[in-house]
Amino acid sequence: MAETFPGLLRDRAAREPDRVAMRVGGEALTFGAWHDRAARIAAGLDVRRGERVGLLFDEHDWLDFATAYVGVQAAGAVAMPISARTPNPEITRLLADFGAADLIHGTGLAPEKGRPLPDVVADRPGGVDVRPGDLAQILFTSGTTGRPKGVSATHANLTYGYHPRMRRRPLAHSKLFLHAFPLGTNAAQTMLFNALTAEPAALVLPRFDAEEFCKLVETERAGTAFLVPAMAIDLVASGAPDRYDLSSVLLLGSTAAALPPEIAKTLAGMFPNADIVNYYSSTEAAPAQTVMIFDPDRPAAVGQPADGDLRITDAAGHPLPTGETGEVWLRSPTTARTYFGDANAASAVFRDGWVRMGDLGRLDDEGYLYLVDRESDVIKSGAFKISTLRIEAELYAHPDVRAAAVLGLPHPVLGSVPAAAVVLRRPLPVEDLRAFAAARLARHEIPARWLIVGALPRNDAGKVLKRSLRSLFDAPAEPAAPASGTEARLARLWARALGRDVPAGADFFAAGGDSFAAARFAALAAEEFGVEVPVSFVFDFPDLAAQAARLADQRPAAGVQVDVPDGVPLSSLQEYFLRWLGETAEPRAVSAVAVAIRITDLLDVPALRRALDDVAARHDALRTVFPGKKAVVLDRCEPDFDVILADDPVRQACAELERPFDLAHGPLVRALVIEEGPEEFVLVLGVHHLVFDGHSMGVLLRELGECYAGQGHRLPPAARAADVSAWARTRWPEAREFWRRTLDGAPPTLPGAPRSAEVPAFEGHSVAFEIPVEAAERLRAAVAERRATVYMGLLAVWAKAMAEWAGSDEVVVMSPLPGRTKPEFDTVVGCLVQSLLLRIDVADDPPFEELLPRVRQVVLDATEHQYYPYEEFSRRIPQPAWLRFERWGGPVHFPGLESGPVGLPRELMFSWPMPGPDLSVPELALTEHPDGRITGWLVHNRLTYEPSAIDRLAELLLARLKEVR
């Protein structure tokens, strides 16, 4: 049948026996010879239908490999290509693991088992009745991050898209198509299919060499050429295209992964007559793929589905709206592939014809796919999740970068930080690379470690082996020697504040600092040198030399009066919550800080419970209760832990999280495990906000994973939240005068807000909001030019929009900070978040370039005085406008297990009584994503505001953003 590989060859050989199918060097293989030789192989094999036969051939033996590949299939067996570079012990393991009945190998290869390619005609005719549904091949995955798996495919899968009576064969614009793909890869198998079905003959370069590749294009006038991104990168870096005539190429295809945009742009200039086409697929997903002809207006897009279908989902597999980042899935248009003999692994990747690609991405309004990163490569650094693809793409824009790879390296505080290995065209100082990156990347994206290498470690398919690359970073980085003793002391403080060594001469923000790190450094410097160091000091003097020179000008630090109450000291937000809870006769509830995580893995529930008990025992905040209005830390207070069976985990999670906590007796930590199947669980964690904040959730999940894995004994002693609160309260006396002066005469709310009602109740509602990418990019450029942050720019825009909406000359915005200005606070669990009341004057409607410096100073001053009795000053401003801003934290997960987030309603616990008419104003919650988008929510009281009023506020915000230049 034509729907099988042997059938395709039989048909082609019958019609065009003397036509050349494939050429390697000076050797050619016609369709007739290919068919006859394959029949000999089939006749000489003693195998049963469905048995596996290994194929081990060197790159130069492409013609023999093609013969053996179809011959094995013609015998009814399954072809299992193995790279000739595979070590003998690994070959033995693969043959045993996959139950191979035989091994055929090429000349010069002598493995312990198997036999060379037969070269005699057998007495019996070869071949059996091969059916489209029969298994045809097993290919091994690239193994860039782990042990390879065997991906099996049927003949129907491999031959999809072929029509025996098609009027025009594929690639008919060419007489030859050129490739250099290694044997045993999915790209090579695609080239075999092209050789059987396309119009041109295949011209095979056994091993990729940029010079030889270009030479073959010129001498053979190849009309089509195929590459993988690694080959394209080498081609661009080699300069070979400048030495040859490449005008014959009308189609230059890059397959398997995404081309870096700068590489695609350069290729378009090197191949003047060619369409540069990116094919995105995988060994598991083929023939499903997206196709993208390079478009300068969409340089990072990898296209729309050409064969099959495409969707973006959350970790539970639920489709996400356009623009949201999630998991990429492709659906096969024919019989899907699977992992041979590995049902557990297959169930996580192959579902109802859909294939989980292992990538994170998003779709734009026209259905074009943009990749964010491999899920396994995303760098989890502090509160951020960082895309290595984005960093690599920007590095390729540097004219002297030949190749680049980025990965995450462990960090004791941040979890991991980005590191870049770079191949250069000419020697270049690392500082030049860092400065280049700083001009194009967010501060947390700038690599903390740089390594100049001669070449990147790659597998046969050209993909970077990041597990091998990691070992190259084992040698510790040597920071440059500071010019003075003061600079040396400051450099040590930089390292503590940033979590990384930095060389002398670097810029604090170019080295990865932000306003949070600046506040941390200022606190450390004040303690180290005994002088007052405001946060603005770092913004005004961002390099070591300038800081050292100016440090002597700072005033000596004044002593402070310690004001710590008897018992367990409360944080500023805890004081506020305890007052807020008692303001109404009807009980009110502070919402829990919560996550829901789907675990698609074997879960030891008793071990999980022990791990959660261990984490609670480590942290005093998780054992704190509140009898009356005081805090008491119990010696033991094990979390609530329940296990149930349910088919609606979101409903069950909401019910659990909205169940009231017993503040007086505890526990204030609860966990619910919802069982949906043998390896399908939803873990719900909720901790009362009185003892917890958003930063704490990251600490909790990380430690929970470590304790669950049996590593809890390795955890260092946990610092106490009570000690942090006690330290923070020592800062209150000196901050009080600042906040009195700042807030005197400030409006307690925005009286002109267009309220439709003033009711004594709050019922939350959220409206999704997105800032267009072009507006976000303009904002980034504008704030960078004025040495401000994206957050400061958004605050300025929000204040102007809110003031115009409410008809006010000034706005007080409440904005939270993590409250962890010392490195040792990073692993503290507690309600430590600090609440800044930012008073912004927008009288006379100042343009953005005038308002931003004003807002910048407001933020710096407030951050400098962030430790203050918020409960006391919140009485002056009971209903501020809110702005929450964070960079993409990525999907939550349970460390060490296959897992991902389950979405919970934003309105969870957004309902409570008020002591009087509600005068609150809407809140803006924004998230900056790795791909540059800024998305978020406008949150408001649905009982107070008409939808049209919220729409008007959104319109004003967008209009003010358009004014930014």
Which pLDDT tens digit goes with each residue over 205-215? 998 999 999 99
- Has residue 423 got a pLDDT over 60? yes
Residue (of 168, 127, 123, 119) closest to 7 by Cα position = 127
- Has residue 520 got a pLDDT over 80? no
DSSP-assigned letter for residue 629: T
Instruction: Determine the pLDDT at residue 705.
Output: 86
What would the pLDDT profile of 213-256 be if each residue is shown by its tens digit? 999 999 999 999 999 888 898 898 888 999 999 999 999 999 87
> Which comes out higher in pLDDT, residue 756 or 506?
756
- Report in angstroms the alpha-carbon separations of 533 from 522, 540, 557, 693: 5, 12, 9, 27
Token pair belonging to 958: 């967008």
Instruction: Determine the pLDDT at residue 560.
Output: 38
- Has residue 354 got a pLDDT over 50? yes
Q: Average pLDDT, stretch 862-875?
A: 93
Q: Which helix (H) or strand (E) holds 68?
A: helix 62-74
With a pLDDT cut of 90, the percent of the chain lying above it is 43
Instruction: Determine the pLDDT at residue 451.
Output: 85
Residue (of 11, 334, 35) closest to 165 by Cα position = 11
What would the pLDDT profile of 591-619 be if each residue is shown by its tens digit? 788 999 999 888 899 999 999 999 999 89
Domains of the chain: 1-168 (3.40.50.980), 377-471 (3.30.300.30), 485-551 (1.10.1200.10), 572-720 (3.30.559.10), 725-962 (3.30.559.30)
Q: Is residue 736 very low, low, confident or very high in pLDDT (cuts 50, 70, 90)?
A: very high
Q: Average pLDDT, stretch 758-768?
A: 84
Q: Which helix (H) or strand (E) holds 812?
A: strand 810-817
Instruction: Determine the pLDDT at residue 271.
Output: 95
> Which comes out higher in pLDDT, residue 606 or 555?
606
Residue 453 burial by CB count (10 A; 0-12/13-18/19+): exposed, middle or buried?
middle
Helices and strands in the chain: count of H runs, count of E runs:
28, 40
Q: Note if the bond before 846 is cis, omega within 30 degrees.
A: no
What would the pLDDT profile of 254-304 be if each residue is shown by its tens digit? 987 788 888 999 999 999 999 999 999 999 999 999 999 998 888 889 999
What would the pLDDT profile of 881-917 be if each residue is shown by its tens digit? 999 988 766 667 887 788 888 888 766 556 667 777 8
| 595: β partners | 685
Q: How many CB atoms lie within 10 A of CB 770?
A: 18
Nearest-angstrom CA–CA distance, 82 and 55: 6
Residue 783 burial by CB count (10 A; 0-12/13-18/19+): exposed, middle or buried?
buried
DSSP-assigned letter for residue 615: H
Token pair belonging to 489: 């002391």
Nearest-angstrom CA–CA distance, 685 and 653: 9
Q: How many CB atoms lie within 10 A of CB 772?
A: 13
Instruction: Determine the pLDDT at residue 126.
Output: 52
- Among left, alpha and beta (phi > 0; psi -120 to 50; other), residue 745 is left
Q: Average pLDDT, stretch 370-388?
A: 78
Nearest-angstrom CA–CA distance, 139 and 185: 7
- Report in angstroms the alpha-carbon separations of 158 from 3, 136, 480, 749: 9, 8, 56, 66
Instruction: Determine the pLDDT at residue 94.
Output: 86
Q: Average pLDDT, stretch 347-372?
A: 91
Radius of gyration of the chain (CA): 32
Instruction: Determine the pLDDT at residue 685.
Output: 94
Q: Is residue 510 very low, low, confident or very high in pLDDT (cuts 50, 70, 90)?
A: low
DSSP-assigned letter for residue 445: G
- Has residue 356 got a pLDDT over 50? yes
Q: Is residue 561 very low, low, confident or very high in pLDDT (cuts 50, 70, 90)?
A: very low
CA 702 to chain centre: 17
Residue 112 has phi, psi (to 5 degrees) of -60, -35
Nearest-angstrom CA–CA distance, 282 and 355: 9
Q: Is residue 146 very low, low, confident or very high in pLDDT (cuts 50, 70, 90)?
A: very low
Nearest-angstrom CA–CA distance, 813 and 393: 37
What would the pLDDT profile of 905-952 be if each residue is shown by its tens digit? 766 556 667 777 888 899 999 988 766 778 888 988 888 999 999 999
Nearest-angstrom CA–CA distance, 495 and 12: 67
Sheet (strand 201-204) strand order:
27-30, 20-24, 201-204, 176-179, 224-227, 251-254, 275-280, 289-293, 304-307
Min mean pLDDT across 117-121, 643-647, 841-845 is at 117-121
Question: How much is the pTM?
Answer: 0.54
Q: Average pLDDT, stretch 859-884?
A: 92
The vertex-530 CA angle with 524 and 532, nearest 5°, equals 75
Dump the DSSP string for 673-691: EEEEETTEEEEEEEEEGGG
Q: Is residue 514 very low, low, confident or very high in pLDDT (cuts 50, 70, 90)?
A: low
Nearest-angstrom CA–CA distance, 55 and 91: 10
Min mean pLDDT across 74-83, 676-685, 766-775 is at 766-775
Token pair belonging to 943: 């009982």
- Has residue 564 got a pLDDT over 80? no
**Could you tell me if 859 and 832 are in contact, meaning their C-beta atoms sit under 8 angstroms apart?**
no
| 899: β partners | 599
Q: 671: which residues sit within 8 A by CB, 6+ positions away?
A: 608, 609, 612, 639, 640, 641, 642, 683, 684, 685, 686
Dump the DSSP string for 344-411: HHHHHHEETTEEEEEEEEEE-TT--EEEEEETTT-EEETTEEE-HHHHHHHHTTSTTEEEEEEEEEEE
Nearest-angstrom CA–CA distance, 366 and 638: 51
Q: Is residue 449 very low, low, confident or very high in pLDDT (cuts 50, 70, 90)?
A: confident
Nearest-angstrom CA–CA distance, 342 and 148: 12
Instruction: Determine the pLDDT at residue 178.
Output: 96
- Has residue 513 got a pLDDT over 60? yes
- Has residue 410 got a pLDDT over 80? no
Token pair belonging to 9: 């060859």
Q: Give the total residue count for the chain.
A: 965
Residue (of 34, 22, 16, 15) closest to 73 by Cα position = 34
Instruction: Determine the pLDDT at residue 512.
Output: 61
Min mean pLDDT across 90-99, 254-263, 482-491 is at 482-491
Q: Is residue 626 very low, low, confident or very high in pLDDT (cuts 50, 70, 90)?
A: very high
Averaged pLDDT of the chain: 85
